[in-house]
Amino acid sequence: MPSGYGKSHASLKVWFWRALRFFHTRAREVLAIAKALLSTEHPFLVHIIPTRRCNLACTYCNEFDDFSNPVPLEEMKKRLDLLADMGTSIITISGGEPLLHPELDEIVRHIRRRGMIAGMITNGFLLTQKRIEELNRAGLEHLQISIDNTKPDEVSLKSLKTLDQKLELLANYAYFQVNINSVLGSGVKDPEDALRIAHRAVDLGLTSTVGIIHDHNGQLKPLGPREIEIFEEIMTLSKRSFSRFNDFQHNVARGKEHNWRCRSGSRYLYICEDGLVHWCSQQRGYPGIPLAQYTPEMRHREFYTEKFCARLCTVSCVQQVGMLDNWRAPQTLKPMPMTPPAAQTELMQIGPARSDS
């Protein structure tokens, strides 16, 4: 492989455009945070699903199928326009596997055209140099891959062995920021894997975070002593991650309840492939209202609604959004049943899962 710059073998051209996009994105993130501190009337982060289909079948995951059609591009644009009109700051494309959507690049472009920050969560298996360069041109700003182990097993194929070449491609060609998330907790055969994955990511010049496995309700599972040591070491590697600014994950690792105000349904939205609004991936089904019918009054009410699952939650992206408002606006309301649309599809609460957010 030819010599390059920094920890990867990226060319000077890639380093230039990567640095330019990094500082541009960081400036926009700072402005988004300032906007969110000044006003509570808009969503800060939205996860949106363009396809439920996935090319893998991890046994712990209930957020995918192997048959669904992708959401049509024009419908995705309508949903993104609605979110932009709400004042949304950041869109994260998730799935399923978003790289299976045939018009993903145009979805990313539309997010950027509407002035929102564009991110994506992927399993990484479909990444090639060509695909990464296409995402560069589309304007992607963040990408995250969650790696479960160092060698593939019957639970997950998302291993360092199967994805290491993809990480090298990202290190060499991506203009956008890349984060590698490893996991700890029940079901992980060798917790040392998380440390190996984290160090490999940092060695390539990527950022690294660690997630903790939910139980079957997306709730807290305390780690063992060695797992906590590994967790703390990985957290010290997250120098460029906003996750280091709060103690939420530290409490989760130790099985402690966390006192915070979950603003899902307001500052954070989860939009499923059917275009319905949910609290998050772990509490799908409520409020279950079509995005086009989700009013400012509904968002306002959810902002002040105390979530029954918050104290034992492990969904770090929602908690990070909550940091914007934990210091204000006490939540005094309880969840209120909302009238579902007449043709609403059956929804379910997600079962055992690992948080990639």
pLDDT tens by residue, 92-125: 999 999 999 999 999 999 999 999 999 999 999 9
CA torsion, ordered 71, 77, 83, 88, to nearest 10 deg = 110
* Residue 5 pLDDT > 60: no
Q: What is the pLDDT of residue 353?
A: 46
Q: If we measure between CA atoms, which residue out of 257, 295, 250, 317 comes closest to residue 92? A: 317
Cα 295 to chain center, whole Å?
24
The distance in angstroms from the start CA to the end CA of the chain is 33
pLDDT tens by residue, 216-259: 555 566 788 899 899 888 888 866 555 555 577 777 777 778 88
Burial 149-175 (b: 16+ CB within 10 A, else e): bbeeeeebbbbbebbeebbebbbbbbb
**50 touches 93 (CB < 8 A):** yes
The rounded percent of the chain whose pLDDT value lies above 70 is 87
Q: State the chain's mean pLDDT as an integer.
A: 88
pLDDT tens by residue, 126-180: 999 999 999 999 999 999 999 999 999 988 899 999 999 999 999 999 999 999 9
To the question of pTM greater than 0.75 for the whole model, the response is yes
